[in-house]
Chain A
């Protein structure tokens, strides 16, 4: 009997939880706020689902309910992607080491 592809996805999922566990514990506490904003940005990769949904069908079906929800999701995810990465960038740019001079 063949293995259901779901099991492979489940394996990826479980292993990623472990990766997440170890990676996040090594994040320095002073960067916990950027951590939250960047996780926010990357979870908006959900936009790929929105793209597929909104491009479904031809030009006659683009205003079907399913497509419209796709477009709405694109707007929301785009706010998050741009907002999340840029605000993280802005925060990280502020973290500076002590100047050696003086």
Chain B
């Protein structure tokens, strides 16, 4: 196959990838979009096989490895519970990162195959591209591993900070740049290996200071990094499909990070620098005065909701932890049978990744046109009889509007306080992730339901 024809095929798969993302603008077109993505990938792989034209022993091994990886991936995809989606995505990011590192290493060890020159005499531009690709890939890999461990709960979600952390990271970035410079000058293997090792370390150090609830930003950011790494490799291999994809994924992750930061009213840098929600913030806890709290049981909740004409449900990370989405849907079914109007309100940063709550509700067969984003539904709280807050906390805290001293001041919140009565399903009065008290707990119209989210929801359903 001529290189020109090959390039055209890569362009086609690049376009199909664009269409795959375009399809996600609505759930109806999304499945077709995913199909475009699969076709694009198939084209890219098949034409690469044909162009390589080498169907010897190596090809057989390749197929075996492809099969191993593919069946492993398929197995994971079918078995993974929807609640584990954040850690799955983090895990996948780490694989893309590591694959980028491996491809960069092969290109460095055997540059002739990729037309990059010869060992010890690689084109300067290619060297810069492949070391950038390898470096970003390595950062993505180790960073995603940390994110995965934190999301999975193997590692504590608390931020790990130490003195001089940011200077150390800065030093590592500078040393990577200096090493790339020397690699271009001397082309010694050692510089290349050192770049990769330092980048692994940097990825690790970048993510450990970031706390659990900032994970939506971290995952989106790593998503973006994996794209830039792919683009770096795309430049090295002079492959259009890879360059287009890298740019798409890179900007996609960047936009998601931006949306998540805006949802928390925090600057991107304050998230990256980390340390938010750490133990040092518990100092505010000393002024803990005993405020009266109204707590109720499932009976009261059922009574309130049965007599309501409209109910808005506010799910949060706690719903995911308790796996309460199915129980919730069953409760809503009963309510709807009783003529209650029910809708769902999703805060942009609810859960541990962008769109986390939407997937869980979709899994529980909640129609997506009953699920609303913050801007769409926020005005409806004023006319709603009952807000059922299940596993959310900080995103409903009115302090974000009224208390300029609060760490979450300025964060857009769901106006749960405006509804006639609020039902809070929560295990205890403990503050949420931001480490601050929620005023809403002590309001006259709030009823606290202290229980596991799933059990409480099930009991309410029985009482309805």
Q: B238 contacts A9, CB within 8 Å?
A: yes
| Chain A 77-102 interface residues, beta-carbon cutoff 8 Å to B | 77-99
Q: Which of B45-85 contact A (CB under 8 A)?
A: 45, 48-49, 52, 54, 56-59, 61-62, 65-74, 76-78, 80, 82, 85
Smallest Cβ-Cβ distance to A79: which chain B residue: B73
Q: Interface extent on A, as a size class?
A: 35 or more
- Are A50 and B21 also in contact (CB < 8 A) when A36-B256, A39-B223, A96-B367 are? no
Which A residues from 1 to 50 make CB contacts under 8 A with B?
5-6, 9, 12-14, 16-17, 19-21, 23-50
Residues of B within 8 A of A35 (CB): 21, 24, 252, 256, 354-355
Interface size class of B (residues with CB under 8 A): 35 or more
Closest B residue to A37 by CB, please name it. Answer: B89
The interface residues of chain B, by DSSP majority, are classed as helix
B195 within 8 Å of A by Cβ? no
Stretch in B164-172, B178-186, B240-248, B434-442 with 4+ CB within 8 Å of A: B240-248
- Partner of A12 from B71, B95, B243 at Cβ < 8 Å: B243
Contact A85 B38 (CB under 8 A): yes
Q: Chain B residues near A42: list those with CB within 8 A.
A: 17, 20, 37, 40-41, 245, 248-249
Write out the residue numbers on chain A whose beta carbons fall within 8 Å of the beta carbon of B106. Answer: 49-50, 53-54, 66-67, 69-70, 73
A56 to B396: give the CA distance in the assembly, Å: 58
Tell whether, in the assembled complex, residue B96 and residue A80 are in contact, meaning their CB atoms are under 8 Å apart: yes
Cross-chain contact of B359 among A12, A34, A84, A89 (Cβ < 8 A): A34
> CA of A55 to CA of B33 in the docked complex: distance in angstroms?
31
Query: Are A55 and B54 in contact (CB-based, < 8 A)?
Result: yes
Contact across chains for B27 and A81 when beta carbons are under 8 A apart: no
B contact residues vs A (CB 8 Å cutoff): 10, 13-14, 17-18, 20-22, 24-27, 30-31, 33-34, 37-38, 40-41, 44-45, 48-49, 52, 54, 56-59, 61-62, 65-74, 76-78, 80, 82, 85, 88-89, 92-93, 95-96, 98-100, 102-103, 105-107, 109-110, 112-114, 125, 219-220, 223, 226-227, 230-231, 233-253, 255-256, 259, 346, 348, 353-356, 358-359, 362-363, 365, 367-371, 373
